[in-house]
Amino acid sequence: MNTAQRFRSALLAWFAEHQRPLPWRTHYQPYAIWIAEIMGQQTQMERVVVYFQRWMKQFPDIPALAAASEQAVFKAWEGLGYYSRARNILKTAQLLIEQHDGKVPNSQAALLILPGIGSYTAAAICSIAFNQPVPLVDANVERVFCRIEDIAEPPKQAATKKRLLQLCTELLPADAPRQFNQALMELGALVCTPRTPACPACPVRDCCRAFAAGTVSQRPVSLKKPEKVDLSMACGIITHEGRMYIQQRLPDDIWGGLWEFPGGQMKEGETAEQAAAREITEETGFQVTDLRPFAVVVHHYTKYRVTLHAFFCRLEEGQTAEPTLQAASAFRWVSQEELDSFAFSSGHRKLIRKMNIPENPAVRRQRGHVT
């Protein structure tokens, strides 16, 4: 047996025994694979499983998903971030009903023209759902092969990417692409992990050049990540006659279609309280008073670290509760309980969770205003 054959057979035997019982692995339905793949982008597997199971109960098939409202889809997606993905899933489901008889197509070309399906997802659907011999290189596979081949260049460099794809293509067995691609990713997730790979338990250790050379901890070589940009934001939770004001972001905005408390970025020299009052007036036309600090939450995004200062406040006397919307497509005055039926961005959802902590002094003070 040559090295490639030994690698394949050791990896496939290991996968047959050690693969995780993920819910979409029972039947490999194309709809399930598609949803799991999109959910799995930048999200830990345990979280994906929880969201996936809930999603499949709510939208068990493509017709059920295509008939859902955007708000229902956003709500089911809430907490996964990157809401354009949820919007694209809905658009794609509708296109599948109109153009593909309600089925996920089985060719990369047809998949690639659907919203939100890029080359990786198309390859994943073809190989995992339809068992086609299409190579699949995700971050786990990159790491495994950078170690197996002891590659001293960053995997994100164009030449290295090409080399990794070539390796996967050469090793992919024509009779088991579904199992092989998943086995590679599973090895990266469970054994050849980023920080402490379990080399003694690795089924392909005999083929691993980095293990032989003692360079495992230096592979893959990483490109320096750019520093995150700090952003300071402020928002106001306006209360009026026992209800809170929320508004829906414009569709083409960042977090478009999600709900929020009005607010925005602080300007230089401005306090958080001044920024909250100014943003409220700019976005709604409301004049507010009695701003009281409620909470400060920090949330990390890919490029930004956002510190959000939130205040409870009231409408000034004699004002109408009808806003002039400048940065939103819709508004509602809702009770605290009703907040749970709207989809919010992660930072604002953190604020809502804090409202549910009864010992929070700001919430206790606020109980006098909001029911």
Residue from 185, 204, 275, 328 binding ligand SF4 (CB under 6 A): 204
Please name which of 253, 365, 354 lies closest in space to residue 313, comparing C-alpha atoms.
365
277 DSSP assignment: H
Contacts for 74 with CB less than 8 Å, ≥ 6 apart = 83, 86, 87, 257, 258, 343
Does 192 help bind ligand SF4 (rule: CB under 6 A)?
Answer: yes
Footprint on residues 274-333 left by ligand SF4 (CB under 6 A)? none
Catalytic residue (choose from 17, 37, 98, 283): 37
Which residues fall within 8 angstroms of residue 151, CB to CB, at 6 or more apart?
145, 160, 163, 164, 219, 220, 221
Nearest distance in Å: CB 332, ligand SF4 = 52
Whose tokens are 């929320």? That residue is 246
Among positions 104, 122, 167, 208, the unique one binding ligand SF4 when judged by CB under 6 A = 208
Q: Are 245 and 331 in contact (CB under 8 A)?
A: yes
Cβ proximity of 150 and 144 under 8 Å: no
Measured CA to CA, the distance from residue 58 to residue 72 in angstroms comes to 9
Nearest approach in angstroms of CB 3 to ligand SF4 is 13
Selected binder of ligand SF4 within 197, 220, 262, 263 (CB under 6 A): 197
Rounded Cα–Cα distance for residues 367 and 371 (Å): 7
Instruction: Please count the other Cβ atoms lying within 10 Å of the Cβ belonging to residue 78.
Output: 20
The window from 103-111, 204-212, 242-250, 298-306 that contacts ligand SF4 (CB under 6 A) reads 204-212
Identify residues 133-152 at the interface with ligand SF4 (CB under 6 A): 144, 147-148
Q: Which stretch binds ligand SF4 (CB under 6 A): 66-74, 96-104, 123-131, 195-203?
A: 195-203
- 369 closest CA partner among 327, 324, 333: 333
> In the complex with ligand SF4, which residue's Cβ is closer, 137 or 216?
216
Q: Is 205 in the site for ligand SF4 (CB under 6 A)?
A: yes
Output 200 or 358, the one with its CB closest to ligand SF4: 200
Q: How far is the CB of 144 from ligand SF4 (least distance, A)?
A: 6
What does the alpha-carbon distance between residue 110 and residue 38 come to, in Å, rounded to a whole number? 17
Note whether 211 binds ligand SF4 by CB under 6 A.
yes
- 369 lines the binding site for ligand SF4 (CB under 6 A): no
- Phi, psi for residue 234 in degrees, rounded to 5: -140, 145
Helices (H), the chain: 3-18, 30-39, 45-58, 62-66, 70-77, 83-99, 108-112, 119-124, 139-148, 158-171, 177-190, 209-213, 272-284, 346-355, 361-366
Q: How far is the CB of 169 from ligand SF4 (least distance, A)?
A: 19
Q: Which of the stretches 27-35, 109-117, 194-202, 287-295 binds ligand SF4 when contact is defined by CB under 6 A?
A: 194-202
Q: Is 295 helix (H, G, I), strand (E, B) or coil?
A: strand
Question: Is 89 a binder of ligand SF4 (CB under 6 A)?
Answer: no
Is 46 in the active site? no
Question: Would you give the binding string for ligand SF4 spanning residues 172-191, x where CB under 6 A is met?
Answer: -------------------x
Phi and psi dihedrals of 295, rounded to 5? Answer: -160, 160
CB nearer ligand SF4, residue 126 or residue 210: 210
Name which position in 139, 165, 199, 221 contacts ligand SF4 (CB under 6 A).
199
Nearer to ligand SF4, 204 or 306 (CB): 204
Catalytic site positions: 37
| Residue numbers at the binding site for ligand SF4 (CB under 6 A) | 144, 147-148, 191-192, 197, 199, 202, 204-205, 208, 210-211, 216
